[in-house]
Amino acid sequence: MTQSTEPGKIWLTKDAFDKLTAELDDLRGPVRQEIVERISEARDEGDLKENGGYHAAREEQGRIEGRIRQLEDMLRRAEIGETPPDDGVVEPGMKVTYKFVGDSDDEVETFLLGAREIEDSVEDLKVYSPQSPLGQAIHGASRGDTVSYTAPNGKVLEVVILDAVPYTV
């Protein structure tokens, strides 16, 4: 199976998918229950307008519910990463080495093109999203290509793709 280029898909390693699934299970279960208990205890204390514990627990509940929705969406759109073909074409799941045009050959950077949420499961490697400005610009480019993109500060940058190989653990 090759990597999907379907918009909205999020490439995840199996390890990252498992970690995010475990986090979601924990948030839906014990964490959510603990927040509900804290809110209930704070309500029992009386006047809610001036009850800092109640307001803090409600804010925490909102944050947790937001993370649950984010994880549910991400896992629904996840594409568990089979190793992409070793053809030098940049796509999610590839370890990409590049340099900025004009930089010396010893000023190279390497990253994994994939969901930022997998960064914790990838040792010693930055992770850039395919939706990032650089990720969008290089997606589909090949080893040796020069591509330009507009950085968040508005500056147009050019990079040379030096290598693109499948990421393996």
The fold of the 94-166 domain, in CATH, is Chitinase A; domain 3 (3.10.50)
Write down the pLDDT at residue 3.
Answer: 39
Q: What residues does each domain of the chain span?
A: 10-80, 94-166
What pLDDT digit, counting tens, does each position of 2-39 carry?
Answer: 334 455 677 777 777 888 899 999 999 999 999 999 88
* 129 or 99, greater pLDDT: 99
CB-based contacts of 143, cutoff 8 Å, min separation 6: 88, 161, 162, 163, 164
In this structure, the dihedral spanned by the alpha carbons of residues 37, 23, 5 and 113, taken in order and rounded to 10 degrees, is 130
- pTM for this structure? 0.62
Count CB atoms within 10 A of the CB of residue 168: 8
SS3 at position 52: helix
What residue type is 23 in one-letter code?
Answer: E
CATH classification (class only), 10-80: mainly alpha
